[in-house]
Structure formats: C-alpha cells, structure tokens
Amino acid sequence: MPTIAIVAGEASGDLLGSHLIRALKKRRPDIEFVGIAGPKMQAEGAKSLFPMEQLSVRGYVEVLRHLPGLLSLRKQLRRYFLQTRPDLFIGIDAPDFNFALERSLKKKGIPTIHYVSPSIWAWRKGRIKKIKSAVSHMLALFPFEPAIYQDAGIQVSYVGHPLADILPITPDMQAARESLKLSQDARVIAMLPGSRQSEVKQLADLYVKTARLIAEQQADTVFLVPLVTRETRAIFQEAIYENNAEDLPLQILFGHAHMAMEAADAVIVASGTATLEAALIKRPMVITYRMPALSWFLLKRMNYLPYVGLPNILAGRFVVPELLQHDATPEKLADATLRMINDEALMKDIREEFTRMHQLLRQNTEEKAADAILAIL
C-alpha cells in the first residue's frame, strides 16, 4: 500500500490538499496520506500527526518567536518520515518550513513534490538553487512560473489554480443575497481581515473605523465580515465594542466568505489568497495589510514587486488599489472604496479583467496535479 507524506501549513493549503487527495484517491484508493493536515484534508482521509495551527505563523518577528517550536516540529517529522519511508513527500506551500524538510528527505532518496511555487518571481530570486536541492518536481499555480523553474533545470508542471475550477465564471449576486437575507437594492461591502488571529488583531479596529466612515457617507451600506473561528470573531467583536459601533449595519458571519463576496458590490480584503478568491468572484476590491513594524521594515528591504496583491501581480498592473501598513488608514480605505463603487466604468473594467484572469487559471487543476504526482509515484 503506497504512502504519501503530506504537510500543509494553513487554511489555503488545507483546501488545496483536500482537492488533491480526493483526485488521487479516485484513481488510487489504496494510497495513505500522513503528515500535517487541516480539517478538510482529514475529511478526505489524511492522518495528521500534529495540529496544522502550529505552522500557521506569518511575519519575520512572529516566526522568530515561534522558531524553537517550529524547528522541533520539523525535526520530529523528519525522524518519522525517515523511519517510515513514505513513497513520496508533498509539501503544500509553507516554503520556509517545507523546503528544509524536503531537502533532507530528497537526500535520503524520497522523491519530493512542492505544491504552490513560492514568490521567487517577486523576491529572493537567489532561492532557486536551494529549491533545486529540495524539490524533485514543482507544481505551479500561475502561468508565468514554469519558465523560471525550467531555466533552472527543475521539473515543473503548470496546473492552474483549483479555485478557478471551483468558482463559476459568472457569480450569482442575487442568489447570494437571498441566502444571506439581504435586500437586492442594498449597497453591500464584504470585509475580510484574514484567517489568522494575528491578522485580525492588526485589522479589526481599522475595518470597524472604515465601516463607520463609509456608512456616514453611504447610508444604505451593509457590511459583511466572514470569520472562520470563535477566536477571530471575539477579536472583531471587541473592536466593535471599543469603537462604540454596535449601531453599524455590520453582520459577522461564521465562515461563508465566498457567499459574502458574491453578495457584495465590493470587497475590502487582507492581502493573501482571499484577494484571488475575490478576483475569481469578479468583485472589485481594495487590498490592505498591516503587520508589526519590524516585519514590515524587513519585508520592504526585500525589493518586492510594486504590488503585493495576487490580482495585481497576475495582471502586471494595479487593477485594484493597495493600501498597506502606514497607508492603511480608515480615511484612505473609505475614500478608495467609495470612489471605486461609485465609478461604474471602473467597476466594469475590473470585472472584465478578472473574467480574463479566471479563464487563464481554469485548468482542471486537481486532475493535472494528480497526473504529475502519479507519474512520479
């Protein structure tokens, strides 16, 4: 019975991993999966040796604080996999954690696949040599990535993005609003402050103050805030209380992020995978992010691209505004959002660009990824 070791580091990786496991099990139901898995992967049959939350750390300062635990976790995984000798290892995203683990396993003769290319096209391009020593085969989600790996002599497959397969080309705003019991005539803004507690702590106060400013200028606006855990809900509710904002037409949802975006006229969203989800749902957005000052200082020194949001990176231009760190103020966020939603020509251009993007990324991803993996297995 073949065994695939698999490690995912956060909610987006858990989603990718669950689709991949399902596609592989359709063809090879005898494969066992073991490693670090979230609830979606476990629902597909993966065995998790440790909680996935232990890997969900973002930002340089935050990683340093958790470094001893992360190093211990990786050491335990390495020892377990070298003892049990899986037929294949798949690292899903979490490159700083997974590449070192993959390098150790590859040296001992275990083939390694990395699913989701890190952003080497934006920064740390010298990392390609280390990737080559760690990865037997790279699965790339975006069409401009394979050439980078081919030039470096690394086996690579462009598989597209699974969200592009899942989400319909034409979203149904009316149905989403009916499900959420919202008026078809209301102005609706979805606000997504991220999935991690650290992200919500950075953005909750900002989002509540932004909602207040928008509501003062656009009286019929309803705000939807989908949050995935009790802890993040509590953080956001505390921000509402501290800002005396209980009167705001603001609905906290338990999950339902896709439905909230589909029901919305526009989205205010933390930089990350949710920006791509919003683009695939064809929703104009304002991208924002805040992090601790030292993490921001270090990131800025990495010579990043002029944009950080995936929709802008894929388009190669600023399709939607980005307000980061010191520019992420309630006044600037409210102004950017109102200017966008009141410019119908701009909204139409954004939707057309996102439709083109969706068609480019729709590649029957899980089947292509399964093909590449089974060829190595």
The whole-number pLDDT of residue 302 equals 58
Q: Do 329 and 349 reside in the same domain of the chain?
A: yes
4, 32 contact by CB (below 8 A): yes
Answer whether residue 147 is part of any domain: yes
Q: Do 156 and 184 reside in the same domain of the chain?
A: no
- What is the mean predicted confidence (pLDDT) over 25-50? 95
Q: Do 63 and 126 reside in the same domain of the chain?
A: yes
Structure tokens at 28: 């090879």
The whole-number pLDDT of residue 289 equals 84
CA-CA distance, 37 to 46, in Å (whole number)? 7
CA-CA distance, 171 to 6, in Å (whole number)? 33
pLDDT at residue 60 above 50? no
Q: Do 54 and 181 reside in the same domain of the chain?
A: no
pLDDT at residue 304 above 70? no
110, 7 contact by CB (below 8 A): no
Q: Do 335 and 372 reside in the same domain of the chain?
A: no
CA-CA distance, 10 to 33, in Å (whole number)? 17
- For residue 99, the SS3 value is helix
Q: Do 356 and 367 reside in the same domain of the chain?
A: no
The whole-number pLDDT of residue 128 equals 85
State which of 93-97, 220-224, 286-290 shows the largest mean pLDDT: 220-224
The whole-number pLDDT of residue 59 equals 46
Domain span at residue 340?
173-361
CATH number at residue 19: 3.40.50.2000
Structure tokens at 11: 């909610």
Burial readout 238-277 (b: 16 or more C-beta within 10 A, e: otherwise):
ebbeeeebeebebeebeebbbbbbbbbbbbbbbbbbbbbb
Phi, psi of 44 (to 5 degrees): -90, 0
pLDDT at residue 161 above 60? yes
Tell me: the pLDDT tens digits for 108-134?
Answer: 999 999 999 887 655 556 678 889 999
